[in-house]
Amino acid sequence: MARTKKISSENEDEITVLPEDKAKNGKSKDLSASYNRFKSYHGKEYTGMQIGRGHHWHYDEGDWKETKITPDLWEISYAVTKRRVGKAPKNSGVPVGTAYQWYILAHQKVVKLDANAYSTDLTGLKFKLAHKRADKDKWSAKAPTQRKHLIQFLRDIIDQLEKEPIPLQFEFNGKTYKGEAVPIAATCAEGICYEADVTLNDENLGIIRCAKSGWKLDRADPELTRLIGDQIFRHFE
């Protein structure tokens, strides 16, 4: 049985060197070729990391600033260096100097620990607006095009939120859980959705996803995750 080599043993969703990435002599192929190769997703061509693969990062001590604009709206600014857990395979990924612009839509849950400290948990989606190659001075999309793509992304999210969610209700460890799962429309195919934003007892838990090894929900109890996933799949039966 062919083995796969993971960047990090802590997260099975990390980038892997797959058996097909090995040359006949057993050595790794030039993974930059695989990264840059055109791939297809729902009829749309793309390059870069293959759909379904992921990253795991550790963040240095960052600088977060926020200013209150209205009773419920805040402006935020955050700057930090993130570092990969493990090491990237040789010749993989983009060249140093490549840049990206993302739009982040997320839930942030904070809990006060003492007078000067809060725990912070962030879950959600990030949408690529543009990228800039290391050897180029221009972004892949001009500002009006970026804005157009962002408008469409937000419209898709609104449509997603306005649809009837998947109801959730079950008992776990002597406690009753009731809530809903909002399918992530981009992950739906042939009438089944493989990711959903989960809220239980009025608290958002994050996005659950169906992986080859079962349902995954970051930082959640595995059995609780399984119960949520089972109800989601039963909804589509």
Task: Tell me the average confidence (pLDDT) per consecutive run of 10 residues in the chain, 237 residues long.
Answer: 30 36 53 74 81 91 97 98 90 88 98 98 97 96 98 98 98 97 95 96 98 95 98 95
184-207 burial, b for 16+ CB within 10 Å, e for fewer? bebebeeeebbbbbbbbeeebbbb
The half-sphere exposure of 102 on its side-chain side, counting CA atoms within 13 A, is: 9
Q: Please report, for the chain, the start and end positions of each structural domain, with discontinuous segments joined by +.
A: 163-237
DSSP summary character for residue 28:
B
| CA pair distance 127, 145, nearest whole angstrom | 14
**Are the beta carbons of 129 and 101 closer than 8 angstroms?**
yes
The 10s digit of each residue's pLDDT in 50-61 is 888 888 999 999
DSSP summary character for residue 129:
E
pLDDT of residue 13: 34
pLDDT of residue 15: 36
**Are the beta carbons of 15 and 55 closer than 8 angstroms?**
yes
Judged by DSSP in three states, 94 sits in: coil
Whether pTM exceeds 0.85: no
Q: Residue 117 is encoded by which pair of tokens?
A: 């400290």
pLDDT of residue 46: 84
- Provide DSSP, 151-208: HHHHHHHHHHHHSPPEEEEEEETTEEEEEEEEE-GGGEETTEESEEEEEETTEEEEEE
pLDDT of residue 141: 98
pLDDT of residue 19: 40
In 3D, which of 117, 91, 79 has the Cα closest to residue 30?
91
Backbone angles phi, psi at 221, to 5 degrees: -60, 130
pLDDT of residue 30: 61
